């Protein structure tokens, strides 16, 4: 798997964890834990891993 | 119960559910605290009902899409499978609205919550639908858009554009399905495909928003309204299922203009009442 998608996924998961723990408050309308923000960055992290999977797989020929 | 039926119907019709949940209670002089935990729990149940109705209605589509996406990820590449392409288009279309929604939903809604502003946006929603239909007809008449693009051949960029158009629904009075169907029409989808893509696109957003709010249903304060919430959720689900059944048939042979007229008339009446300070 290529390093850029992995780095991006790690960053997203760290941001998700920080929102979930209530440490990160950027873009939040109130204090405390932010489950929606955490879920968003968790999903973006998963998508980054999918991108990495696609980028590392050998290209297939179109019929 | 009226709120449940209203939510189930207006969430999917291109008439702005959020606008209706501001205007109708104001017109009927319902007084409830929107930040009250029991009210929030009730609203979560209504959204959950709507989400379940959408998933059940499109169950065979979602089954094929999820299988195709899983196979694509396992293989690690894209194929020419139509369901797989629609699945990735839905992912591409959901990301922008999810980012905008999570970061801007509450500030925007707090700022634009008054009846007069909502009525204004409802009128704007009408003109968006009229303009979308007019531009499409002009494009077809001019011969620049004669070929209708099948949903499975939509480009990634266009899929993202339709998804981004949904974000306009953060403004109460602007309809999510209205803006996304108009965006689809302008990108040469048929009415039927534009509506199908719009409803499929709405499903993950409504499901995610509902699931994330489920803890509100389990809070001690919500127990007092648990039975009402369950009944309301079931009613919203039945209404939403009936709505999506009606709308998918409607868009076989009709367009958005009747909904535009409805938004225009309701918006003008509500704006008049708000300016006369009959509603706030």
CA A46/CA B237 separation, integer angstroms:
30
Burial class (CB in 10 A: 0-12, 13-18, 19+), B194: buried
Mean pLDDT of B77-83: 89
Name the residue among A40, A44, A60 with its Cβ closest to that of B77.
A60
| Residues of chain A with C-beta less than 8 angstroms from the C-beta of B96 | none
Per-residue pLDDT tens over the stretch B81-114: 999 999 999 999 999 989 988 888 777 777 777 8
ipTM of the shown complex? 0.84
Which residues constitute the domain of residue B251?
2-275
The pTM for the full model equals: 0.88
Q: Is the dihedral of CA B13, B16, B17, B23 positive or negative?
A: negative
State the total domains in chain B: 1
Q: Where are the domains of chain A?
A: 1-34
Per-residue pLDDT tens over the stretch B117-154: 989 999 999 999 999 999 988 888 776 655 688 888 88
Report yes or no: B38 and B222 within 8 Å, Cβ to Cβ.
yes
- When scoring B47, B66, B72, B73 by the number of chain A Cβ atoms within 10 A, the one with the most, hence best to mutate, is B73
Any domain includes B280: no
Tokens encoding B103 = 């970061």
């Amino acid at each position: 798997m290529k390093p850029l998608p992995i780095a991006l996924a790690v960053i997203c998961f760290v941001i998700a964890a920080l929102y979930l723990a209530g440490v990160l408050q950027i873009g939040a309308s109130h204090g405390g834990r932010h489950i929606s923000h955490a879920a968003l960055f968790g999903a973006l992290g998963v998508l980054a891993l999918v991108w990495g999977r696609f980028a590392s797989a050998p290209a297939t020929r179109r019929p | 119960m009226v709120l449940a039926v209203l939510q189930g119907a207006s969430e999917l019709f291109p008439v702005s559910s959020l606008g209706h949940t501001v205007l109708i209670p104001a017109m009927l002089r319902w007084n409830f605290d929107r930040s009250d935990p029991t009210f929030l729990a009730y609203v979560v149940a209504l959204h959950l009902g709507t989400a379940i109705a959408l998933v059940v209605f499109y169950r065979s589509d979602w089954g094929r899409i999820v299988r195709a996406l899983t196979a694509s990820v396992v293989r690690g590449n894209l194929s020419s499978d139509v369901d797989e392409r629609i699945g990735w288009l839905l992912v591409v279309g959901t990301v922008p609205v999810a980012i905008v929604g999570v970061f801007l939903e509450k500030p925007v809604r707090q700022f634009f919550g008054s009846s007069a502003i909502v009525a204004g946006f409802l009128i704007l929603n009408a003109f968006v639908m009229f303009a979308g239909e007019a531009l499409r007809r002009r494009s077809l008449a001019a011969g620049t858009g004669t070929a209708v693009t099948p949903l499975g051949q939509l480009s990634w960029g266009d899929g993202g554009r339709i998804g981004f158009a949904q974000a306009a629904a953060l403004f109460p009075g602007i309809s999510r399905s209205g803006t996304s169907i108009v965006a689809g029409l302008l990108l040469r989808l048929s009415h039927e495909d534009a509506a199908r893509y719009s409803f499929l696109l709405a499903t993950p957003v409504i499901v995610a928003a509902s699931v994330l709010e489920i803890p509100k249903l389990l809070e001690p304060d919500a127990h007092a309204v648990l039975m009402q919430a369950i009944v309301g959720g079931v009613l919203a689900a039945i209404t939403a299922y009936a709505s999506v059944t009606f709308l998918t048939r409607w868009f076989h042979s009709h367009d958005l203009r009747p909904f535009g007229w409805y938004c225009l008339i309701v918006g003008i009446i509500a704006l008049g009442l708000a300016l006369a300070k009959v509603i706030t």
